[in-house]
């Protein structure tokens, strides 16, 4: 019984520690047209912005003023969100959060705390919180578009479709991103 109690105390303590650290992820917030991007350190936003390369979609930023890293990241997230909506032909009124975490380890920890399961994800969308958790070390345009597809579908449908349908449509978005 003592070992079980020790493990429970350890799990509670580590959960509280992680939640406190997760609240630090909101030390900075950047508002976009559709979302709020939360991050612990400026370098996370800089790295996120650098890794999200719009490539052939860059022309969509031409009418947006990008003076700072914040401006550029804001523009990229909004342009990509609009592109995902167009691919899915779903245009809900969107409001969601993106939490930038340094590595996939923090993403896995957040998932375990929320859902009690160990996974091997670099990002995930929490429909209850309307929040994307994403590893800045592993982010790329396809990963973010995949998660944005989950956001769009979640907020478009009154009753969310089955998980397999969500995944098929999110993969469809990744495939057709640059068409």
**Tens digit of pLDDT for each residue in 8-20?**
555 454 555 455 4
CA-based nearest residue to 79, from 42, 127, 34, 20: 34
**SS (HEC) of the chain:** CHHHHHHHHHHHHHHHHHHHHHHHCCCEEEECCCEEEEECCHHHHHHHHHHCCCHHHHHHHCCCCCCCHHHHHHHHHHHHHHHHHHHHCCCCCCCEEEEEECCHHHHHHHHHHHHCCCCCCCEEEECCCCEEEEECCCCCHHHHHHHHHHHHHHHHCCCCCCHHHHHHHHHHHHHHCCC
Q: Which domains does the chain have, with CATH numbers?
A: 2-176 (3.40.30)
With a cut of 90, say whether residue 165 has pLDDT above it: yes
**Tens digit of pLDDT for each residue in 55-85?**
766 655 666 666 889 999 999 999 999 999 9
Q: What is the pLDDT of residue 46?
A: 96
């Amino acid at each position: 019984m003592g070992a079980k109690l020790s493990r429970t105390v350890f799990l509670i303590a580590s959960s509280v520690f992680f939640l406190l650290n997760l609240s630090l992820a909101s030390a900075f917030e950047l508002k976009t047209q559709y979302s709020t991007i939360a991050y612990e350190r400026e370098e996370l936003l800089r790295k996120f912005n650098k890794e999200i390369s719009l490539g052939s979609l860059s022309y969509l930023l031409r009418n947006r003023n990008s003076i700072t890293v914040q401006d550029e990241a804001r523009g990229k997230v909004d342009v990509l969100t609009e592109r995902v909506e167009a691919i899915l032909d779903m245009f809900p009124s969107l409001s969601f959060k993106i939490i930038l975490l340094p590595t996939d380890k923090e993403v896995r920890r957040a998932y375990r705390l929320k859902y009690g399961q160990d996974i091997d994800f670099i990002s995930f969308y929490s429909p209850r919180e309307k929040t994307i958790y994403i590893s800045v070390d592993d982010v790329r345009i396809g990963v973010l578009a995949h998660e944005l597809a989950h956001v769009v579908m979640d907020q478009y449908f009154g009753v969310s479709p089955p998980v397999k349908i969500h995944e098929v449509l999110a993969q469809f978005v990744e495939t057709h991103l640059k068409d």
